[in-house]
Amino acid sequence: MKIGKFLIDEVYCGDALKLLKEIPNESIDLVITDPPFAIDFKEKRNNYNRKNERIIEGYNEIPKEKYYEFSYNWMKECYRILKITGSMYVFSGWTNLKDVLNAIDEVGFIQINHLIWKYQFGVYTERKFVTSHYHILFVVKHAKKYKFNKIEHYPEDVIVVNREYWIGKLKTPTKLPIELVKKLILFSSDEKDIILDPFLGSGTVAVAAKLLNRHFIGFEIVPEYCKFAKKRLEEIDADLFTKQNG
């Protein structure tokens, strides 16, 4: 099955701003993404308590002065390609949150919730409060037609999920916990729906989609991250084959 020129259930290495233009109008059910934050991120900073040899390098940052333009451009394409029943979840730190919110409004998305992902903190600070959360903007194209499966009786807008440390394993420097992504997928999609992550990173959105019987398309500009994401997906296939064949 193809969406435009893209086979579904595949990861593509390239610039999302270019690749998104190749996806047909109203063909995607859900977008979940964690774009670059424009904070001069250093993946091997000592205060993140990471073993440097286990961090995959290549993180692609966006200049702060161009962050609004960057956000507007990729969101505009996501608005175009989402179905009328579609939704989008955008992860953001607090530093450039204003640019993200302004871009959401300018593109035409309707904001349903401003979620908070609360995690255990691990960054040492001396003269400020420790950041222990990310923002998740839940937006839609149509205020009444978007999918929402109430998988919890009283779903709250603060989600507490610990980070995954992957002790002793290779990892990308910014990786979402799979249980958090699964929760968003279950709330806002059905089986066989197509989920897009234009900034795939380590591949967690694609992995979660596959585990939950959804289709996926992933874009990632860093070749090393693409290889890492594809390897994770291959490991799922191998595990499923082993289970099915005893």
Q: Which sign does the torsion angle of CA 145, 96, 199, 71 carry?
A: positive
pLDDT tens-digit map of 181-192: 999 999 999 999
Structural domain for 33, as ranges: 2-244
Task: Map tokens 């968003």 to a residue.
Answer: 184
pLDDT over 90, % of the chain: 74
pLDDT band at 38 (very low <50, low <70, confident <90, very high): low
Where is pLDDT greater, at 53 or 37?
Answer: 37
**CB-based contacts of 35: which residues, under 8 Å, 6+ apart?**
62, 70, 71, 74, 90, 91, 92, 198, 199
Distance CA 105, CA 110 (A): 7
Total number of domains in the chain:
1
* Range of lowest pLDDT (41-45, 68-72, 187-191, 212-216): 41-45
pLDDT at 49: 42
pLDDT band at 225 (very low <50, low <70, confident <90, very high): very high
pLDDT tens-digit map of 142-152: 999 999 999 99
CATH assignment at residue 97:
3.40.50.150
pLDDT at 40: 47
3-state secondary structure of 1: coil
Q: Per-residue pLDDT for 238 more than 90? A: no
pLDDT at 174: 60
Q: Are 96 and 67 in contact (CB under 8 A)?
A: yes
Q: Are 39 and 32 in contact (CB under 8 A)?
A: no
Region of 50 please: left (phi>0), alpha (psi -120 to 50) or beta: beta
Q: For the chain, first and last CA: distance in Å?
A: 29
pLDDT tens-digit map of 99-117: 999 999 999 999 999 999 9
pLDDT band at 236 (very low <50, low <70, confident <90, very high): confident
pLDDT, the chain, mean: 87
Q: Are 123 and 174 in contact (CB under 8 A)?
A: no
Q: What are the Cα distances from residue 122, in Å, to 48, 130, 171, 219?
A: 6, 8, 16, 29
pLDDT band at 240 (very low <50, low <70, confident <90, very high): low
pLDDT at 50: 40
Burial (CB count within 10 angstroms: exposed 0-12, middle 13-18, buried 19+), residue 176: buried
Q: Are 158 and 116 in contact (CB under 8 A)?
A: yes
- pTM for this model (two decimals): 0.87
DSSP H stretches of helix in 12-117: 16-19, 67-81, 97-107
pLDDT band at 173 (very low <50, low <70, confident <90, very high): low
Q: Which of 30-39, 58-67, 111-120 has the highest mean pLDDT?
A: 111-120
Distance CA 18, CA 197 (A): 14
CA dihedral 41, 164, 180, 134 (to 10 degrees): -30
